[in-house]
Amino acid sequence: MENTDNNVDSGSLLLTKHVFTKLLSAIITHFKDSHQLESYKDSQLYGFGNYDSNKPNLKNDLELVLRGYINGKYLYNKEREVASGKPIIKITREYRTVLFKYIGFRGINEFLTKEINDPIEKDKQRQLLQTIGSEEDYYYVVYYFGEDKKMT
């Protein structure tokens, strides 16, 4: 079976709405538990806008895991995509791994095995992971014969 943890070829990880919701819930639970918080404001949680960088926020936590820069609003925007009803959430670049590492998983497959209990949802996500490798790039070439009688 193909290793989809390191989905380097496509550059992105597609998650079903159900799996992403579970992932986000696990991330927020881990954040609240590790900082002993009861409540939070979205801008402080995700680390954007007028947040206080000296107070706990996911941006700082994720930057410690990644050891690099994290866009604090990225995860917030993905949460908004789910709220708007988007069925598939696309996770790109370093976020494909850092989100799982933050909550103690090596990648999507380990997360699916341990955290997704619904076999139908697990199967939907596995099918989505298998289709990622079948993406192809297509290019369109155009020639233009201009007024100066030259082809571009």
**Cβ neighbours of residue 81 under 8 Å, at least 6 residues apart?**
89
pLDDT in tens, 81-93: 999 999 999 999 8
pLDDT above 70: percentage of residues in the chain: 82
pLDDT in tens, 33-67: 999 999 999 999 999 999 999 999 999 999 999 99
DSSP state string for 51-112? --TTS--HHHHHHHHHTS---HHHHHHHHHHHHTT-SEEEEETTHHHHHHHHTT-SSHHHHH
Q: Are 43 and 115 in contact (CB under 8 A)?
A: no
pLDDT at 89: 97
Residue with tokens 């990622």: 132
- From the centroid of its chain, how far is CA 29? 17
- From the centroid of its chain, how far is CA 136? 21
